[in-house]
């Protein structure tokens, strides 16, 4: 069994993330989530963000094991 996780699905929409993760969990496919949050970047608290607040979008990456990629892809995109 692989210990490496591969990115299966990415979104900036929390509802789409929750839906995709729920589908995978309902089919007993183990998932991990990587959250990329620019608000936690080096700009930090009180720091200057040269791009303004419009650049601050959270990205949700759903990760699955290599052996689950095909089945997980079917569950998210074809059911």
**Cβ(74)–Cβ(32) under 8 Å?**
no
How far, in Å, CA of 11 to CA of 13, rounded? 5
Tell me the pTM: 0.74
Domain that holds residue 53: 5-77
Query: pLDDT tens digits, the chain, 79 residues: what are they?
Result: 567 788 999 999 999 999 999 999 999 999 999 999 887 654 444 455 555 554 468 999 999 999 999 999 999 988 6
User: How many domains is the chain built from?
Assistant: 1
| CATH number (domain holding residue 36) | 3.30.70.1370
Q: First vs last Cα of the chain: how many Å apart?
A: 26
């Amino acid at each position: 069994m692989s210990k490496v996780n591969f990115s299966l699905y990415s979104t900036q929409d929390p509802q789409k993330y929750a839906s995709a993760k729920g589908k995978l969990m309902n089919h007993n496919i183990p998932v991990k989530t990587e959250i990329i949050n620019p608000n936690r970047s080096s700009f930090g608290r009180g720091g200057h963000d040269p791009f303004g607040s419009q650049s601050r979008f959270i990205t949700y990456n759903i990760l699955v094991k290599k052996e689950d990629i095909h089945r997980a892809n079917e569950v998210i995109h074809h059911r």
